[in-house]
Amino acid sequence: MTSRSNSLLSIRGLPAAMAMGAAAFGGWGLLLPVVPLAVSLGGGSDALAGASTAVFMAATVLTQLFVPKLLVRFGHRLVLAAGCVFLGLPAVLFAVSVAAAPALSVSAVRGIGFGLLTVASAALVAELAPHDQLGRATGAQGIAVALAQMVTLPAGLVLFALSPTSVFVIGAVVPLIGLIAIAFLPATHPAAPPARRASEKRSAAKQFVVPCLAIAAASASFGGLSSLLPIAEPGRESMIGVALAVVSGSMLVGRYGAGSVADRFGIGRALTPALVLVSTGVALFAFAVADSHPAVVFMGAAAVFGIGYGATQNDSLVMTFRVAGPERFSQASAAWNIGFDAGTGAGAMALGVIVGTVGYTSGFAMAAAVALVMAVVVGVFGARSAG
């Protein structure tokens, strides 16, 4: 391990934040592909299967709007603890029924917890890390999350095949393990940010547009892929689970690599190439599902997509933090996470509807085109925001 890595782990509270993130987001990853599959196998349509993810993300986004004020009032630890409880405990109810009404209701409640976790965890890392290590610290948190998902994404599908009840019980317990790590976090309590003039708010909002649209486009692809790939390849759920694990593993490279580029060469430099990789990966998935190609094609698509997706996440997040400044880290986290989760939910819902009409290959090809268009937009308008 390099001294640079050691300096990151010596940041007070960062190891605990990474452990909490691994538990919370690992629990999310465990059920992300499982719930739509369970809804589909229970007789629901592709659109309904996608809607289970979309409703989850809609509740997430609505919650995220209020998290900055909650952080000012209650602090990071309490908000994170509430997030772990709301995300975890209701998952047990999936074992009772995955019919439309109960599945969507439970998804909505869990989305509240995820909304609390996403904003508070990203804002916490920004509070803990020194400015010159923000890119790598954000990347390190992303690595912890991606490692957890690398295990839980395929494990969820395997467990579901063995025992649907067990995966829902484990999906309830895993986020609650994050409560242990939260107990070791420092008591951070952001102050209310000073008021801004209307012109300053408009200027900051314009600067948020590029990174938030970038992560929305990339996460839309991920939402559609994670929800629909297991359905697109019936009988190959375990292989798809491994492919999703490869996505998470490749995100490690993308996130930390983009963080290093941001700290050394400037924020925003990696964003356009990252989106090109996202588009290429989704296009390869479209090719892979066209004729049930061998597993190696899926793994290659997953690796390319994961590197691009991880890099897009990290660079766009650090861009929002730079625009906001230290006094508004929680607002920056909320804006970025709204883009991320709205994209994930919209992608799952939209692709669920589209593939029902034009098929999986054409639907995934459309998602690839959206990511490529966004790469062009970032290349044209985002360069002026690069540090």
DSSP collapsed to 3 states, the chain: CCHHHHHHHCCCCHHHHHHHHHHHHHHHHHHCCHHHHHHHHCCCCHHHHHHHHHHHHHHHHHHHCCHHHHHHHHCHHHHHHHHHHHHHHHHHHHHCCCCHHHHHHHHHHHHHHHHHHHHHHHHHHHHHCCHHHHHHHHHHHHHHHHHHHHHHHHHHHHHHHHCHHHHHHHHHHHHHHHHHHHCCCCCCCCCCCCCCCHHHHHHHHHHHHHHHHHHHHHHHHHHHHHHHHHHHCCCCHHHHHHHHHHHHHHHHHHHHHHHHHHHHHCCCCCHHHHHHHHHHHHHHHHHHHHCCCCHHHHHHHHHHHHHHHHHHHHHHHHHHHHHHCHHHHHHHHHHHHHHHHHHHHHHHHHHHHHHHHHCHHHHHHHHHHHHHHHHHHHHHHHHHHCC
| Residue located via tokens 């629901």 | 44
Q: So what's the pLDDT on residue 104?
A: 93
pLDDT digits (tens, 9 = 90+) for 11-28: 788 899 999 999 999 999
Q: So what's the pLDDT on residue 233?
A: 85
Instruction: Answer whether residue 245 shows pLDDT above 90.
Output: no
Q: So what's the pLDDT on residue 197?
A: 64
Closest by Cα among 103, 92, 373 to 227: 103
Lowest mean pLDDT among 161-175, 176-190, 253-267, 296-310: 253-267
Tell me the domains of the chain and their CATH numbers. Answer: 14-185+197-385 (1.20.1250.20)
Lowest mean pLDDT among 248-257, 260-269, 301-310, 361-370: 260-269
Q: Please, which pLDDT band fits residue 292 given cuts at 50, 70 and 90?
A: confident
Q: What is the pTM of this model?
A: 0.76
Q: Please, which pLDDT band fits residue 310 given cuts at 50, 70 and 90?
A: very high
pLDDT digits (tens, 9 = 90+) for 195-239: 666 655 666 666 778 888 899 999 999 988 988 888 888 888 789
